[in-house]
């Protein structure tokens, strides 16, 4: 598991502070204006939202799209790299639901069954068993 530390530390450096992943989650459905984001992320202070958006822009995960020059106003949208966090958010959501009495896990919209994540190797065309998790290697 020691091989997980460098990439995990890099990910946490980019998106691991408080509120950041909630801002990303609020942008998954498409661009939002500042006020819309503040309403979508309950409890976030305007100065914190502004800081998180600037950080996400510097990291290349969010882009600010101007829609007004006077006063200057922007809509915020995820970049391709930002949208790639959707899978990680789904995993964290499932984990949070499994360890909470108040949250329901993500489920299949057709039948209602709770979803499960599985590791899969597209080259070998096989699933990777949980027992192999200790053998995962990162370049």
CATH number at residue 53: 1.10.10.10
What pLDDT, on a 0 to 100 scale, did the predictor assign at position 5?
66
Model pLDDT, residue 1? 46
Asked whether residue 135 is assigned to any structural domain, the reply reads no
Q: Is residue 25 part of a domain?
A: yes
Q: Alpha helices of 4-77 — where are they, by DSSP H?
A: 5-15, 20-27, 34-40, 46-58
What's the predicted TM-score (pTM) here?
0.80
Q: Is residue 115 part of a domain?
A: no
CA distances from 42 to 30, 84, 104, 129 (A): 18, 23, 19, 38
Strongest mean pLDDT among 14-23, 51-60, 100-109, 124-133 = 51-60
Give how many domains the chain has, as a whole number: 1
- Does the residue 125 lie in any domain? no
**Is 139 within a domain?**
no
Can you tell me the distance from the alpha carbon of 22 to that of 1, in angstroms, rounded to the nearest whole number? Answer: 27
Q: What is the pLDDT of residue 75?
A: 97
Residue range(s) defining the domain that contains residue 91: 2-104
Three-state DSSP state, 84: coil
Other CB atoms within a 10 A radius of the CB of residue 25 amount to 17
* Tokens encoding 9: 């530390």
């Amino acid at each position: 598991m020691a091989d997980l530390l460098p990439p995990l530390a890099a990910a946490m450096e980019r998106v691991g502070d408080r509120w950041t992943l909630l801002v990303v989650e609020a942008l998954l459905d498409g661009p939002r204006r500042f006020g819309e984001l503040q309403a979508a992320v309950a409890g976030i202070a305007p100065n914190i939202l502004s800081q998180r958006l600037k950080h996400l822009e510097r990291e290349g995960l969010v882009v600010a799209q101007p829609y007004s020059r006077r006063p200057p106003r922007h809509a915020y949208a995820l970049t391709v790299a930002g949208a790639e966090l959707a899978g990680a958010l789904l995993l964290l959501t499932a984990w949070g639901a499994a360890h909470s009495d108040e949250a329901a896990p993500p489920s299949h919209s057709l039948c209602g069954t709770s979803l499960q994540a599985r590791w899969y190797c597209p080259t070998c065309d096989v699933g990777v068993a949980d027992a192999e998790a200790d053998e995962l290697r990162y370049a």
